Amino acid sequence: MPNIIFKTFPGLSLLTQSLSIVRPRIKKAYFATAKIEEKEVTSTTETEAEIYTVVSGDTLSKIASKKGTTVAAIVESDATITNANKHLISVGQQITLPTQVSTTETKKKITFTKSKGGKLGETLYVIVETEDFRGYSVSINVEQGKDKCLEEPYKALMLKNDQGNYSTLVTTTVGGMSQTEFTNKDDFQDMAIFKIAIDHSDTTKKKAWQDALEEATDKKTQLCLLIDAHSPEGQTEMHINYDGNSEAGQINGENVTNRWLDAKDQWFELKKKDCCTNDITSSELKEIFTNASDQRINELRDNFNDAFEKFSIDTCQRKSHFFAQIREEVGNNINTFSENLNYTVQSLKDTFSYFRNNPDEAELYGRSDDHPADQEAIGNRAYANRLGNGNIESGDGWNYRGKGYIQLTGRSNYESVNDEILEKYQNSNIDIIESPDDILSSKGALLSAMGYWTLNGLNNLADNGSEDSHVNAITAVINLYTESYSERREHFETASNTFKLDECKNL
């Protein structure tokens, strides 16, 4: 039987049964892409009975949202409310709320798929699978392959970590992902997961990298991974098994095969972002939106660069068409996020059939010398029972009025575009149905426009060409009866010059 002698207390020993020797292993290391899925989880809790007094502007749906319940539950709990009269609540009415309160949480699941290639500057993941190594540190280098390109062969490349810091060495903890809120976090207890970009903080050096990729065979280069795992302090005798490809040195007299992907058909291939997939810059946007503030420009730049590849607005021609339309919709200063319903009495009658048929309400809600326009009341009446909206009391007309970089109008249009956003950009944190005013944020305004763009096949129309007829075809989809066809053609000319469409190598 083994006799254990304690290092710290050499006078103590322990005679024990047979022991199995645990030797930590680094099993796999590879690049990957991530997919994040969202799912709503509803739970219910009991609460004390409550009587709610209706105030001005309340609807049952607003009360349900405010109190963490549903319209159906309120109808069931209050004997005076039925499905027939639930839209007819009045100020001062007392409503018995349900004793069960529902709480809905959005949970996220993340999955990783092994990737054999990526682009300079884009987000990548490196997955290191281990055994008996939880809680220990693992570091990685991404190295130039066997042929010189960005650097000399097997030299470490500069990396940007998920905190935005630059270094050739990135370190994380095995099992760190299991401390997150992802529903499948326990799947990652034995993994070290790195979120990185192959990038350089020195613009001169980054330009040299881009030039090197431009000159490389097939405009790409091969990279590999070097993994360095650390045993806990005070346990320097512990050996680590590396299941990598090549012998990269020795520790305690044993070969340490801690280099991965440096074998035929396993190399990771890095490509340069071309003119189409390059991020847009503030100076480019300033050429299109000449009166916009720096804040508006930078918000649009960051939000577009974060999302454009997800919505495939990823060619110079598609970008030119997209920004030509956005320029007309939001103006030169990027300030028009919401439809202006500040109508006079007469303009209400001229514009909307509802107010032509109800002239007294036009007098009541329209702008006059006696009072300002009641824009919420106008929206709820002008758009009631249209475009997927409910009746006046539902509040849909106001909630789903024209908003965003492309003035999206009506609940049915919001729902379709929201589904498109969820499909293309699952972790955007934008939901224009549950939170219709999300579309008033810079990010929501842009994503709603991108969702509308792809939903209506405008990338395909953009691919048809750059003639006036091609711009007109897209304009007709967005606003058939607009008087701004010529302005949009002018904006396209500006945008195509900005994005150097005549020099694009992908046309």
Q: Looking at residue 369, what DSSP letter applies?
A: S
Provide mean pLDDT across the span 73-101. Answer: 87
Residue 66 main-chain phi, psi, to 5 deg: -65, -35
**What tens digit of pLDDT does each residue of 394-436 get?**
999 999 999 999 999 999 999 999 999 999 998 899 999 989 9
Q: Which pLDDT score is estimated for 232?
A: 57
For the chain, domain boundaries: 35-108, 112-271, 276-339+402-507
Give the residue with greater pLDDT, 236 vs 326: 326
Q: Which pLDDT score is estimated for 238?
A: 60
**What tens digit of pLDDT does each residue of 425-482 get?**
988 999 999 899 999 999 999 999 999 999 999 999 999 999 999 999 999 999 999 9
| Diameter over CA atoms, the chain | 101
Domain 35-108 belongs to what topology?
Answer: Membrane-bound Lytic Murein Transglycosylase D; Chain A (3.10.350)
What is the rounded distance in angstroms from the CA atom of residue 279 to the CA atom of residue 117?
A: 19
User: 276-339+402-507: what CATH class?
Assistant: mainly alpha
Asked if 424 and 454 count as a contact pair (C-beta separation under 8 A), the reply is yes
**What tens digit of pLDDT does each residue of 370-385 get?**
999 999 999 999 999 9
Residues linked to residue 383 through DSSP beta bridges, in sequence order:
none
Q: Which residues of 3-23 are buried (b: 16+ CB within 10 A; e: fewer)?
A: eeeeeeeeeeeeeeeeeeeee
Q: Which pLDDT score is estimated for 450?
A: 98
Q: Which pLDDT score is estimated for 3?
A: 66
Q: Looking at residue 245, what DSSP letter applies?
A: S
Q: Using the predicted structure, report yes or no on whether residue 489 has a pLDDT greater than 80.
A: yes
- Architecture, CATH, for domain 112-271: Sandwich (2.60)
CB atoms within 10 A of CB 195: 16
Residue 99 parent element (H or E): none
Q: Distances in Å between the alpha carbon of 442 and those of 155, 277, 338, 430?
A: 41, 22, 12, 11
Residues 6+ apart with CB under 8 A from 102: 42, 43, 44, 68, 69, 70, 73
User: Regarding beta strands 25-46 and 241-242, do their DSSP bridges make them parallel or antiparallel, or are they unpaired?
Assistant: parallel
What is the rounded distance in angstroms from the CA atom of residue 466 to the CA atom of residue 321?
A: 8
Q: Which pLDDT score is estimated for 337?
A: 84
User: In CATH terms, are 35-108 and 112-271 the same topology?
Assistant: no
Q: Which pLDDT score is estimated for 152?
A: 95
What is the rounded distance in angstroms from the CA atom of residue 223 to the CA atom of residue 434?
A: 44
Provide mean pLDDT across the span 252-262. Answer: 72
What is the rounded distance in angstroms from the CA atom of residue 300 to the CA atom of residue 304?
A: 6
Mean pLDDT of all residues belonging to the chain: 89
What is the rounded distance in angstroms from the CA atom of residue 194 to the CA atom of residue 172?
A: 7
**Both tokens assigned to 366:** 């329209």
Taking the alpha carbons at both ends of the chain, their separation in whole angstroms is 76
pTM of the model: 0.59
What is the rounded distance in angstroms from the CA atom of residue 231 to the CA atom of residue 252?
A: 13
Residues 6+ apart with CB under 8 A from 322: 313, 449, 453, 458, 462
Q: Using the predicted structure, report yes or no on whether residue 327 has a pLDDT greater than 80.
A: yes
Q: Which pLDDT score is estimated for 251?
A: 44
